[in-house]
Copies of this chain bind each other. A is one copy, B any other.
């Protein structure tokens, strides 16, 4: 976060800020001319032209060849559209989970170029083997020139992180006090930025990153699997909280006088256990439960109703505190939501006063939702921020 007080503002920094502004604007709007950029950023055409010239030379952007776009209908000389060069750089996200290693590679457009997953016993492997396996899966088959274009590695793990990015404790993996990013840097080019992040937070970043909408405002992401995690985004930026645990709502209490946690009432484990009891079958799956709910099977509907009520309670608690205007549900259990959306909204309304605005609720979909993708997006976001390594090239050590 660029702190007004602690950063000097030199003429060189102006240029860096403006270059980033051009890149970010181009990422948002896909294709713009130099004049469009000047209008959007409220700078002179001469300035935008100058900055564009530099970015063209760096190979980060290019002029669009497509002549179909040229006929604009307006009078005047048509502008030359500019766009990001997707393959100019790449970003890799890795998720070290309890059961899988997942690797996602995205380009400068933040589009997925590669998705790899392999089974993995995170608890048994230990830190060193886990990391080695993840790095091999990520970079093992990558050509040297491709690796050289990599501008960031993000690592997501189910761990509590401290403010400095070190793992405080990861119960599911049995880890404690580990500087995962630091360890990874030892086996990678020294210029490659590496960051580690909690998997729920990474998921939160990824779940909204591609979308044009909802970059503005407060978004709550909830990831529902066996456990229930969450993350909060404020104006598209991750809100980590005082100790990196913001949004971790799985252990939210359902009442002062009850030991029940949210995770225990809307998580996959609880759903499957209840479904198992109600059907009497030994083998049950989420897919079956969903079908039974669709078929209005009474016992399944009852389970779904309880789920909806617990979810609505949690959402109302969170909405009351952070006043989120958008809520995105992810994880396999999220598939249950569309079947009971009306019930959730009814409960939500009953928990709030009439004047309190209800948030928009949607379900995350597609392969582009997951902690690995989010970790890659985190590095993409970093590349387009003032922390970018591109900016530190010119620093000279104090003599």
Seen from chain A, the residues whose Cβ lies within 8 Å of a Cβ on chain B are 1, 4-11, 13-14, 17-18, 20-21, 24-25, 28, 40-43, 160, 168-169, 171, 217-218, 232, 234-235, 239-249, 251-258, 309-310, 313, 316-318, 320-326, 351-353, 355-357, 359, 385-386
Given contact pairs A243-B323, A256-B313, enumerate 13 new A-B contacts (beta carbons under 8 Å). A4-B20, A8-B41, A171-B355, A240-B323, A241-B322, A242-B359, A245-B320, A245-B323, A247-B321, A253-B317, A254-B255, A256-B310, A322-B322
Output the nearest chain B residue to A15 by Cβ-Cβ distance: B9
- Name 7 interchain pairs, CB-CB below 8 A, sorted by A: A169-B355, A171-B355, A252-B317, A254-B255, A254-B256, A255-B255, A255-B257
Residues of B within 8 A of A310 (CB): 256
A11 to B234, CA, bound (A): 30
Tell which of B18, B20, B240, B317 touches A8, judged by Cβ atoms closer than 8 Å: B18
A119 to chain B, nearest CB (A): 28
B18 touches A5 (CB 8 A): no
A323 touches B246 (CB 8 A): yes
A171 to chain B, nearest CB (A): 8
Output the nearest chain B residue to A22 by Cβ-Cβ distance: B5
Tell which of B8, B218, B309 touches A242, judged by Cβ atoms closer than 8 Å: B218
Instruction: Return the 4 tightest CB-CB contacts between A and B, nearest first.
Output: A241-B323, A242-B325, A255-B255, A256-B313
Residues of B within 8 A of A351 (CB): 253, 256
Among A253, A254, A323, max chain B CB count under 10 A is at: A323
B242 touches A217 (CB 8 A): yes
